[in-house]
Amino acid sequence: MKRIFILLTLILFGLSVQAEGITLTGEARFDWVDMSQIQRDTTIDYYKNILFGDDSVNNYTKDEFKKEFAPYLKDENSKEHYMLAKDDVKETKDANICAFYFKKNILIIYALQYKNNPHNVFYYDPYGRLRYVDVISENYPNFPYNSKQYKANGKLVSAIYFTSKDMQYMYEPDGKFKGLWYKEKMYDKNGKQKVIRTNW
């Protein structure tokens, strides 16, 4: 559940991004529950092939990960960012910020999406040590786009294909379909509702 919650930060960040004063949005028609099982399976396979195709990075070695994200392995301003996140500050002139709590009052992770590097989201523990990175496709913030989240050891956590602000297809690291998010509800491969989220 924590993985889902962390990855869904992207939705919050995506809502706040503007390009030259124009807010970018997308629309989706929701017909998942009305589709036949063959149609749902075909759709699941289609987005899986995009996310896990031949030229996609599904795992980094530790060395590859450290080399690619070297400037972000430690948040040098962790005390400031931690306090901003704890005070519910969502944005500074340099970054979007999001806080993740345990039992509503213990901040366990904060996330930074730097405005000069919007295709990554960096998740830090309270000591400023990098724990996760989201790698977002180049067409972000325009829909559709996709995102993959990696642990700090380079291993893939999950992958999401965003067809719009309202609709996202989520997959496990092995390519197994986790569910379709439509607004605040997640549906399984059979069209049955599974989960409700509160941060949509």
Give the DSSP H/E element, type plus range, for residue 111: strand 106-114
| pLDDT, tens digit (0-9, with 9 covering 90-100), for 150-180 | 999 999 999 999 999 999 999 999 999 999 9
Give the whole-angstrom CA distance, residue 180 versus residue 192: 10
CB 19 within 8 A of CB 142: no
Indicate whether this model's pTM tops 0.85: no
Between strands 95-102 and 22-23, the pairing is: unpaired
Per residue in 123-152, pLDDT tens?
999 999 999 999 999 999 999 999 999 999
Question: At 68, is the secondary structure helix, strand, or coil?
Answer: helix
- Quote the DSSP letter at residue 55: T
pLDDT of residue 9: 44
Q: What is the pLDDT of residues 56-71, one digit of tens each?
A: 778 899 999 999 999 9
**Domains of the chain by residue range:** 2-196
Q: What is the pLDDT of residues 8-40, one digit of tens each?
A: 444 334 433 333 333 344 445 788 999 999 999
Taking the C-alpha atoms of residue 148 and residue 186, their distance in angstroms, rounded to an integer, is: 18
How far is Cα 199 from Cα 7, in angstroms, rounded to an integer? Answer: 11
pLDDT at 7: 45
Contacts of 151 (CB under 8 A, 6+ apart): 131, 132, 157
Query: And the tokens for 180?
Result: 């379709």
